[in-house]
Amino acid sequence: MAAPADHPQTAAERLIARAITATWLLWLVGGLYIAGPVIGWLLAALVFVELYLGRKKLVDIPGSIWAWQAGMAAMLVILWVGHANFSLGTAQTIKSSIGWAKGWALIALFPLAGAVLDVRLEVIARAICRVGMWTLVLIPVFVAAPFVGLPEMLWVSPLKVVGGPGPEYFATILYTIEPGAGTPRWQFFAPWSPAAGMVAVVSIFIAAQERHLGWRLVGVAGFLLIALLSQSRLALVALALIAPVVWGAARIDRGSTWFMAAPALLLIGLFGTELLALFEQLMSDFSSARADSSRVRAALGRIALDRWETEAFWFGHGVVENGPHLVEYMPIGSHHSWYGLLFVKGLTGAVALAVPLALTGGILFWRARTGGLHRTALAMVLVLALYSFGENLEILAYLYWPALIVIGKALAERPQSVE
């Protein structure tokens, strides 16, 4: 009897499925931050084996995947140049290079694995739905925790000795209390709440590709609750915007789509000024929903841009620096991939990310007409693009790596016909 479509069959599928399914267990022991890079480099080793044995060929890897490899390799070279420009020393350069291997490198390795290795979307979707099932089981505990007197943090794993951006990456946290409001907020297995929202959005779009209705409902429901309870504004915006964009891209060559769009375009033309004012009001309301957070983010961005332009235009400062008291000593350029790149790696670093991201988005937007895999991958790229303005993508790659595998698989799969 043939194995079910969602049953892992290859070594890569088994590794990926088991790693995703073990998300909550890894969170409990503080191992998620370690697991992501380990999985990425293990998959890279499997890619090397496939190429070495001749089962896969270099010529079959699409140019868009090579663009990601070149862009993220450039990040390492730019890092070295930045360190040399500011005489940061060998020890700091080695430390930063290890950080690159746990961050930017993963954004190249996981798409490469998706493009070369035999990994099916069905396997990834089922594994994510299993995580969604355990999420539904555990959420009552998270929700009840602040009201029954459970501590905010259970423990910080001793695995933190391996090094990382901070103890929050190894902590088992049940909830946090929102400063000023005094209300509970949940981050689940992410280091902070907006990051949980990002993972939830990624997982919802992948879980939606699960063919079994029961599992699909469980997966989507579990991660929708994470998106809501994380209270991430950007997660709700992403869910509201990305689904219609993907739907439109999948039908962009149909006359009916343009016929349906005509009234909207007419209204935009007639009420453009009023709609612009409404948009500005919505953005103001969006910022004022957490005024302190928005103020700090804006200040971090201004500091990053000013110091980038005046001190390190081409190759950046090489390392992250903490800001002044005005921004609560938070790292300059944090909460924004582009500001962070400009400050740490300069204009060349920003270009190294922008080129493969734009190329991938364009390819997948065009291919969205041809199948569910390409539509899901387009949703993943849109999530990355949107969150690049609210998070540092390299810091969270250890969490959203299934999205990168889906992107790589879609780039490597040539569309045969339009569905």
Summarize pLDDT for 330-350 with one digit per residue, the tens: 777 777 788 889 989 999 999
Summarize pLDDT for 122-147 with one digit per residue, the tens: 999 999 999 999 999 999 999 999 99
Residue 216 has pLDDT above 90, yes or no: yes
pLDDT at 321: 80
Residue 56 has pLDDT above 60, yes or no: yes
pLDDT at 1: 38
- Reading the block at residue 42, the tokens are 């293990």
Q: What is the 3-state secondary structure (H, E, C) of 83-116?
A: HHHCCCCHHHHHHHHHHHHHCHHHHHHHHHHHHH
More confident residue, 414 or 258: 414
Residue 271 has pLDDT above 70, yes or no: no
Residue 356 has pLDDT above 50, yes or no: yes
pLDDT grade for 419, boundaries at 50, 70 and 90 = very low
**Are 310 and 344 a contacting pair, CB within 8 Å?**
no
Across the chain, what does the average pLDDT equal? 87
Residue 171 has pLDDT above 90, yes or no: yes
Q: Kindly state the percentage of the chain with pLDDT values over 70.
A: 86
Residue 323 has pLDDT above 80, yes or no: no
Q: What is the pTM of this model?
A: 0.90
**Are 135 and 224 a contacting pair, CB within 8 Å?**
no
pLDDT at 305: 87
- Reading the block at residue 311, the tokens are 């001190």
Question: Tokens 């995947």 appear where?
Answer: 65
Return the ∠ at Cα 211 (arms to 209 and 215), rounded to 5°: 90
Cα 237 to the center of its chain, rounded Å: 15
Mean pLDDT of 305-330: 81
**Are 288 and 294 a contacting pair, CB within 8 Å?**
yes
Q: Residue 184: beta bridge partners? A: 177
pLDDT at 81: 95
Residue 152 in 3-state DSSP?
coil
